[in-house]
Every structure is written in C-alpha cells, then in structure tokens.
C-alpha cells in the first residue's frame, strides 16, 4: 500500500496488492467516508432521439460515499464498498457501490481521529507492500499442489495429479511416467509464476528433490529451496509456516508470525501454561498486567456488536499500551487464523501463569 496523504482524519491511499484490499476492508467501516473516481448514469441525457430510445450516458466523477458495508472475498482482486452518495455532481442521497481494484487511489476519512489499531494496520500494510508472493509447492510422488504465500494468507493454486503408472508396474516404465509428469508440472509452473518469484518445494519423501533437479536442468535460476515435511497437501504447507522451516525467507511475512504465535498458544494451552482466552480470563490478565502479546482477529477487533465487559474490543485493547503489551491483528484467511476463531477470536500469551 502506498500512503499518498496522511492526516488525523483523512488518508489517501493507493492499492498495490491483494493484501492492501484486505487491510482496507478492515479499516473502512460503517459511518466512515470513502471517496474515489466512479461512474454514474446521468438520467438527464436519456430520452428519445430520432424516434429511438436514447440511453443515459455514464459519467465519471469524484464520488464521496458514506460507508454502510463492505464485501471482500479472500485473494480476490477487488473490494466492494456500499454506501450512500454524499458528494457528487448528481444523485446525492442515492446508493452507490465503489469497486476498488489494484492501483486504484482512494480517500478514507472519518469525523473521529483514526484509532491506534487502524494506524498500526495501515503502517504494516505500507511496510510489507514491497514483499512479493512466494510459491510454496507441496510435492508427492503422484500429486503436486502449488500454494501462494502472501503477508495475510495462504492461497491454493493449481493441482496436478498423476493417475496410474507411478506406484506400481515395471520400474523403468514407472520412472518414465514420473519424469514426464514432473516435466508437465514444470512447464505449467514456470508459465504461471513471475520470473523472480521464489519457489519453495516441500513434502515427504524425495519427490521434491527430483522435481528440484529437473527444474535446474530445465534452466530455472530463480531462488529455489527444498524442505522436508512430515505431511503432504495443505498440511505440509502449513507445517512449513508453523515450524519456520523456510528460514529467513518468510520471517517477515505476517502469516508466518501469526501462525507461529498461535501454535505457541496451543502448546501453552496443552500444558496449562501462561496463556488466557475468554473474556473474563483476558480481563483478569489485563488487570494484572500479565499480557505480553494479544492475538486477535482483525474482524473481531472492529466488530462494534461485540463487547468485552461493556467495552468494544477497540476500546479494550487501548489498555495494552499501559502494560507494555503487544497487539497482533490476525487474518483468518489461513488455517491458523481459523484456529483463532475457535478460541473465540482472541488469545493472550502471558508473562506468567495466572494462579487459580
């Protein structure tokens, strides 16, 4: 995300990645204003012309919406913002939908000063805007699945399956079939990925090493790394994220840190360790200054209908600064984020175990 203008009550932003659309969908809430170029039909230009119906012309103009709701599907290339028109050349008061795509510029404004949580999410989006996607390819003898790792999610791409000939039958024939299968996968992958996109090959067994050797023979010079995992499929991809097996390559990605922290929370839960979830235990940990890191769904954090002991979550997390605790706003567009939902959307790693 490119921050073009930043004031206490107004931001002008350029969307550069799908993760930016994800972030804007969380920051743009009911009651705020979103301004950008849009199109409306000018009904005054319609009517009859030469005995034939004349359709109204579409005119491009700057449209300011008072936001009512947003729609964003994970990893889609557009964000829909619904609201009523408060500023435009015509149609004031009517409903309109801004469709925001990559490279669009928007202004987000509010009659309040933006919250610290919103500012943190904005600045994080700016910091990671230069990160490229990483292709994570899970390789098994008869199946190859490609996933794309972004800062905020794990998106499944194509799947290739070898049916027959790879597990039984005459060895030479099986080897020939497997080699042809790998070549088909290589041609498809290299035609899809950007020239500089890093490629991580993972999975159980040695099929990933055979694919890596074929990639090098094919002339691929991009960054490539082979990593052993105990599982295949999506579970293998999550193992790479959860265990930090990719080393420094994914360390700066929010998804990697969120996955590692939620895994740490589960480990502490299994041993009755220094962790708290649920509204009453979280409030107690806040009162005692025991919270070290709070993991919370970015959606729950901004859900005005949800309360923790009479406060909205946005109000409640303001107390974290007073006790020197860290706030981590998590996406739920990956498996670890879905696990967080199962923990009521928020969990705290504590400095010490709370006594009963």
- Give the CATH number for residue 262: 3.30.1330.30
CA–CA separation, 149 and 160 (whole Å):
19
Number of compact structural domains in the chain: 3
128 located within any domain: no
pLDDT tens column, 99-127: 999 999 999 999 999 999 999 999 989 98
CATH number, domain at 165?
3.30.420.60
- Residue 115 has a pLDDT of 93
Within-domain flag for 15: yes
C-alpha 170: how far from chain center: 46
Q: Are 32 and 58 members of one domain?
A: yes
Last residue of a domain, one of 67, 83, 115: 115
In a domain, 318, yes or no: yes
249 CB neighbour count, 10 Å cutoff: 16
Domain end (from 250, 265, 297): 250
Is residue 120 assigned to a domain? Answer: no
Quick: pLDDT tens for 226-270.
999 999 999 999 999 888 888 778 877 888 889 999 999 999 999
Looking at residue 199, its pLDDT comes to 92
- Asked whether residue 123 is domain-assigned, the answer is no
Q: Tell me whether residue 73 is in a domain.
A: yes
Buried b (16+ CB within 10 A) or exposed e, 194-217: eeeebbbbbbbeebbebbbeebee
Which runs of consecutive H residues, i.e. helices, occur in the chain?
18-27, 116-127, 171-192, 207-218, 233-243, 254-270, 279-287, 298-301, 313-316, 335-342
Please give the DSSP secondary-structure letter assigned to residue 56.
P
Tell whether 274 and 323 lie within a shared domain.
yes
20 & 87 share domain: yes
pLDDT number for residue 49: 58
Q: Which CATH number characterizes residue 86's domain? A: 2.30.30.870
With respect to residue 122, please indicate whether it lies within any of the assigned structural domains.
Answer: no
Phi then psi for 103, rounded to 5 degrees? 80, 0
What is the per-residue pLDDT for 173?
Answer: 53
Say how far apart CA 35 and CA 17 lie, in whole Å.
Answer: 19
Is the backbone of residue 166 left (phi > 0), alpha (psi -120 to 50) or beta? alpha
In a domain, 356, yes or no: no
Q: Do 92 and 195 belong to one domain?
A: no
What is the distance between the alpha carbons of residues 171 and 177, in angstroms, rounded to a whole number? 10
User: What pLDDT sits at residue 165?
Assistant: 44
End-to-end CA distance of the chain: 45
Domain that includes residue 270, residue range: 254-350
- Averaged pLDDT, groups of 10, the chain, 356 residues long: 95 93 94 94 66 68 95 86 93 94 95 94 86 86 90 87 56 72 91 87 92 93 92 91 82 86 94 95 96 96 93 95 96 89 95 90
Rounded Cα distance, 244 and 252, in Å: 11
Tell which of 189, 218, 250 closes a domain. Answer: 250
């Amino acid at each position: 995300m490119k921050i073009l203008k930043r004031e206490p009550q107004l931001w002008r932003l350029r969307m550069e990645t799908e993760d930016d659309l994800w972030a804007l969908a969380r920051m743009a809430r009911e009651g705020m204003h979103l301004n950008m170029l849009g199109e409306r039909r000018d009904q005054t230009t319609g009517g009859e012309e030469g005995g034939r119906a004349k359709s109204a012309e579409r005119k491009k103009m700057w449209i300011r919406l008072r936001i009512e709701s947003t729609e964003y599907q994970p990893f889609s290339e557009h964000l829909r913002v619904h609201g009523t028109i408060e500023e435009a050349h015509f149609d004031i008061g009517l409903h309109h939908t801004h469709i925001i795509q990559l490279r669009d510029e928007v202004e987000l404004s509010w009659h309040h000063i933006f919250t610290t949580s919103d500012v943190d999410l904005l600045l994080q989006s700016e910091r990671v805007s230069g990160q490229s996607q990483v292709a994570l390819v899970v390789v098994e003898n008869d199946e190859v699945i490609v996933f794309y790792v972004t800062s905020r999610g794990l998106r499944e791409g194509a799947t290739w399956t070898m049916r027959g000939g790879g597990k039984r039958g005459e060895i030479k024939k099986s080897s020939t079939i497997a080699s042809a299968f790998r070549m088909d996968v290589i041609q498809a992958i290299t035609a899809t990925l950007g020239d500089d996109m890093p490629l991580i090959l993972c999975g159980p067994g040695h099929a990933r090493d055979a694919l890596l050797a074929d990639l090098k023979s094919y002339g691929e010079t991009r960054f490539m790394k082979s990593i052993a995992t105990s599982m295949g499929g999506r579970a293998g991809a999550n193992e790479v994220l959860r265990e930090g097996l990719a080393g420094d390559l994914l360390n700066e990605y929010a998804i990697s840190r969120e996955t590692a922290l939620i895994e740490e929370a589960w480990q502490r839960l299994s041993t009755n360790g220094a962790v708290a979830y649920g509204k009453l235990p979280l409030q107690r940990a806040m009162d005692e200054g025991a919270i070290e890191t709070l993991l919370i769904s970015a959606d729950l954090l901004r859900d005005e209908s949800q309360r923790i002991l009479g406060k909205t979550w946005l109000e409640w997390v303001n107390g974290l600064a007073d006790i020197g605790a860290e706030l981590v706003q998590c996406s739920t567009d990956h498996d670890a984020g879905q696990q967080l939902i199962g923990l009521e959307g928020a969990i705290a790693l504590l400095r010490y175990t709370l006594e009963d």
